[in-house]
A and B are shown apart, each in its own frame.
Chain A
Amino acid sequence: MRVAELAYLELSESEVDAYQRHLDSILTYAEKLNELDTTGVEPMAQVAPPGAQAAGTPLREDVELPCRIIGEVLAGAPEATSTHFRVPKVIER
């Protein structure tokens, strides 16, 4: 299943079978949306708060602040040094 590859999910064969059926039935159901003529309708990507349309997304000042939780964050990782997350080798020789 190509979608599982795109989503980085390792699936068993029985999982692939079941998901194929489920996705088929859900996507077939979703085709219901084609009953509606949406010509000229602006897609709604976000619920904008009042006044935001004009002002855009409210942004805060970009202020530099110290991060005091790096040690705690790294301590929660499956594998880390005192300054980095560790992952299997990425660059092949």
Chain B
Amino acid sequence: MPSASSSSSGGEWTISSVREALTAKRISARELAGDFLARIEKRNPELNAFLALSPERALAQADRVDALVARKEPLPPLAGLPLAVKDVLSTHGVPTTCSSRILEGYRPAYDATAIERLEQAGAMMLGKTNCDEFAMGGSNENSAYGPVRNPVALDRVPGGSSGGSAAAVAAGLAVAALGTDTGGSIRQPAAFCGIPGMMPTYGRVSRYGLIAFASSLDRIGPFARNVRDIAAILSVMAGRDPLDSTSADVPVADYGAGLDEPVRGMRIGVPTDYFGAGLDPHVKTRIEAGIAALERLGCRRVPLRMPHTDYAVATYYLIATAEASSNLARYDGVRYGVRVPGATLMEMYRKTRGRGFGAEVKRRIMLGTYALSAGYYDAYYLKAQKVRALIAQDFAQAFEQVDAIVTPTSPVPAFRLGERTADPLAMYLADIYTVTGSLAGVPGISVPAGKTPDGLPVGLQIFGPAFGEAQMLRLAHAFEQSGAGI
């Protein structure tokens, strides 16, 4: 916990400290929400982490929580939690743009299930966070509303695509945030900003109300100040939702319950394929130190080969863009957002899409359109789906021998704004360690693993088997408690 002197920074709050302060009446939920909204107003011009605030909604929720406190009724699990939400999640009446011009002014008529569940558990939604347009990018520089700055180093990117959510939590502008992860969009910004961020198993959290990018990959997950809060949020969000047929009917654990159990004897797989060319030596040093810390906790290190890792980026970008080209066909100037007039319906479609989408989104729509087009479908899309099966098989075989897989989250720490925008392929290649787990459908978490000599945060990534979140979080929590991440 930060010292008392940081009490105005917002970073000292956790779900449990909020709860204790509310119960002891040291602060009301309304005061807490007001403090955070004021902090955002002050800090956001510099960081650009938030695109819209929802003060009415946060304060109305605060009043409900304060009424429970006044009546001495039991508080729900996330009572008074100041929460930020990535702007790709639908929020009733609150602007939802996906950081795109094409959805400027759009206010959804309903809420995403994940948000509904968090609010039912007492969370106060402060506002919507900036991200790469339609969640496409790894630096938050693809937002139509300008890049987010990394609160740890203001000349650097916060990572992406959920850069605003990561920056908001790291800067103490929210106690937790929702992001989405399609190829690393929670884990990589978590690593860049020095906080934990988690991608649950595919199907663990309902995606109803998530504006789709790549449907076979998209997942919703939390950022927080510590692993315990991540576990608490997942426990509330997870579970079957009749409104999302891909949400799994698998029992939901209380993910916070077993966090303190020992990790002695856990087998942690370390795939040599994640430590090759391209890995920054300072990142490598921190990850090696992190693995050594896990060994000191009694975990057994098991060297692994995951031979298809090197094919994951190509596979991911063919599949994700193919799905995106189909999902983003709905933005045509008819039902929501912006319309650029045209003499004919076709002209209206083409102008609206040509001007409404940003450069990276258009690039990906075209790549995906190409990969799905007649004559190329088998060579690109179908081939990628077959290689995806091989990558998933690497994970299945690994989890026959180990309980968790430990890797770097990103080969590099946060880079400077503008440093990597010229070469899209080079940017894609930096997703190498995160896209693998996305393709396989397994859960993954990035936890802080110390800093480079320049003071830039490094993230250690832990993958667990499908629906093995409880065990994965226990390991992440033990790592955090070991102090190896400081």
Q: Which of A's residues lie within 8 Å of B, judged by CB?
A: 1, 3-4, 6-11, 15, 19, 22-23, 25-27, 29-30, 32-36, 38, 41-47, 49-50, 52, 57-60, 69, 72-73, 76-79, 85, 87-90
Give Cα A7 to B369, complex, Å: 6
Quick check: A60 and B245 within 8 Å, CB to CB?
Answer: yes
Closest to A30 in B: B314
Q: List 8 A-B contacts (CB under 8 A).
A: A9-B366, A19-B362, A22-B363, A30-B314, A34-B383, A41-B390, A78-B333, A88-B344
Q: How far in angstroms is the closest Cβ of chain B from A70?
A: 9
**Residue B461 interfacial (CB < 8 Å):** no
Give Cα A90 to B382, complex, Å: 35
Quick check: B387 and A26 within 8 Å, CB to CB?
Answer: no
Closest to A49 in B: B248
When distances are taken between beta carbons in the complex, the residues of chain B under 8 Å from A11 are: 354, 362
Give Cα A36 to B424, complex, Å: 24
13 extra interchain contacts, Cβ-Cβ under 8 A, other than A7-B369, A59-B245?
Answer: A8-B350, A10-B350, A11-B362, A19-B363, A22-B424, A25-B425, A36-B311, A44-B388, A47-B440, A76-B107, A87-B334, A88-B344, A88-B345
**Which of B139-147, B222-230, B335-343 binds A?**
B335-343
**A26, A50, A78, A87: which contacts B466 (Cβ < 8 A)?**
A50
**Residue B249 interfacial (CB < 8 Å):** yes
The total of Cβ contacts below 8 Å across the A-B interface reads 165
Give Cα A32 to B388, complex, Å: 14
Quick check: A3 and B250 within 8 Å, CB to CB?
Answer: no
Closest to A74 in B: B335
Give Cα A79 to B352, complex, Å: 14
When distances are taken between beta carbons in the complex, the residues of chain A under 8 Å from B110 are: 69
**Residue B163 interfacial (CB < 8 Å):** no
**A32, A35, A76: which contacts B106 (Cβ < 8 A)?**
A76
When distances are taken between beta carbons in the complex, the residues of chain B under 8 Å from A1 are: 366
Quick check: A36 and B248 within 8 Å, CB to CB?
Answer: no
**A3, A29, A42, A76: which contacts B109 (Cβ < 8 A)?**
A76
What does the 1/0 interface line of B344-382 toward A look like (CB < 8 Å)? 111111110111010100110111011001000000101
Residue from the set A3, A11, A43, A44 with the largest chain B CB neighbour count within 10 Å: A44
Quick check: A33 and B353 within 8 Å, CB to CB?
Answer: no
Quick check: B363 and A88 within 8 Å, CB to CB?
Answer: no
Give Cα A29 to B318, complex, Å: 11
Quick check: B467 and A87 within 8 Å, CB to CB?
Answer: no
Q: How far in angstroms is the closest Cβ of chain B from A74?
A: 9
When distances are taken between beta carbons in the complex, the residues of chain A under 8 Å from B389 are: 41-44
**Residue B325 interfacial (CB < 8 Å):** yes
Quick check: B339 and A3 within 8 Å, CB to CB?
Answer: no
When distances are taken between beta carbons in the complex, the residues of chain B under 8 Å from A22 are: 363, 424-425
